[in-house]
């Protein structure tokens, strides 16, 4: 067995990716696939933190919504991330992986309250830690939550799993001639307004010199290959 390129990672997943072939909610086959891909890396001894969005259930609301104010909509989105986090926790534990779900909002019956030092201790003991409820504050996305948690746990890299092969200069699902970047700087992402993560998340990574890897998580073994040092997708540094 070779030496892992990364020893501690923060895996960022979108809620929409859990839809699979469903129109709403969670596709059981998709969550099982994710758990299996995570398990392959866990078996190598890699310490894994996970942040998952809630867009398959509730994305939050824009400023033009007159029924639900922005802050309330964002709190609703945080609750949606907890539903997805519970589902992923259950799928991982069905494969024999010890996990801990930590919430930025107190929910004693279903999750531990997020405490940085406790999270790091769980990781050191080989438990997968799923961080739910975003940052616990409205007006911040789960991308920002992923960047914040990655910095706090001193992760080697954020790995953002998507349904495309990396970061392109335009949407590859709409433009067949879209160009894939293999390496790109934080500044280029900001200047070119590439839709990778929101600007707050990118800036936080830039300030803390934390690389971001963007790859297609829908392809079996892609996560494993990245951990073992194979060049896949895009690295932002």
Give tens-digit pLDDT for 16-45. 999 988 888 999 999 999 999 999 999 999
User: Is 1 among the domain residues?
Assistant: no
User: Is 28 among the domain residues?
Assistant: yes
Average pLDDT of the chain?
94
Annotate 2-65 with DSSP letters as a single string. Answer: PPPS-SEEEEEE-SGGGGTT-SSS--HHHHHHHHHHHHHHHTTT-EEEEEE--TTT-----TT-
User: Is 3 among the domain residues?
Assistant: no
CATH number at residue 20: 3.40.1160.10
User: Is 163 among the domain residues?
Assistant: yes
Give tens-digit pLDDT for 106-149. 999 999 999 999 999 999 999 999 999 999 999 999 999 999 99
Structural domain containing residue 164: 8-236
Annotate 114-163 with DSSP letters as a single string. Answer: P-HHHHHHHHHTT-EEEEESTTSSTT--HHHHHHHHHHHTT-SEEEEEES
- What is the per-residue pLDDT for 195? 84
User: Is 15 among the domain residues?
Assistant: yes
Could you give the number of structural domains in the chain?
1
Indicate the burial class of 230 (C-beta count within 10 angstroms; 0-12, 13-18, 19 or more). exposed
User: Is 2 among the domain residues?
Assistant: no
Of the pLDDT bands very low, low, confident and very high (cuts 50, 70, 90), residue 193 is confident
């Amino acid at each position: 067995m070779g030496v892992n390129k990364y020893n501690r990672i923060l895996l960022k997943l979108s809620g929409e990716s859990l839809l699979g072939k469903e129109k709403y909610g969670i596709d059981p086959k998709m969550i099982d696939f994710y758990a299996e891909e995570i398990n392959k890396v866990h078996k190598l001894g890699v310490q894994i933190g996970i942040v998952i969005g809630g867009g398959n259930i509730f994305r939050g609301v824009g400023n033009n919504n007159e029924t639900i104010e922005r802050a309330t909509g964002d709190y609703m989105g945080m609750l949606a991330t907890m539903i997805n986090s519970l589902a992923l926790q259950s799928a991982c534990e069905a494969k024999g992986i010890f996990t801990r779900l930590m919430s930025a909002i107190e929910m004693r019956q279903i999750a531990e309250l997020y405490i940085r030092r406790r999270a790091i201790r769980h990781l050191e003991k080989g438990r997968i830690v799923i961080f739910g409820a975003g940052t616990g504050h409205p007006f911040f996305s789960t991308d920002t939550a992923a960047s914040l948690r990655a910095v706090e746990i001193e992760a080697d890299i954020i790995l953002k799993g998507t349904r495309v092969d990396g970061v392109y200069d335009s949407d590859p699902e709409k433009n067949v001639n879209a160009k894939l970047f293999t390496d790109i700087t934080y500044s280029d992402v900001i200047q070119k307004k590439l839709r990778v993560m929101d600007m707050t998340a990118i800036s936080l990574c830039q300030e803390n010199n934390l690389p971001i890897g963007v790859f297609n998580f829908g392809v079996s073994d892609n996560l494993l290959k990245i951990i073992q040092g194979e060049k896949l997708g895009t690295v932002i540094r």
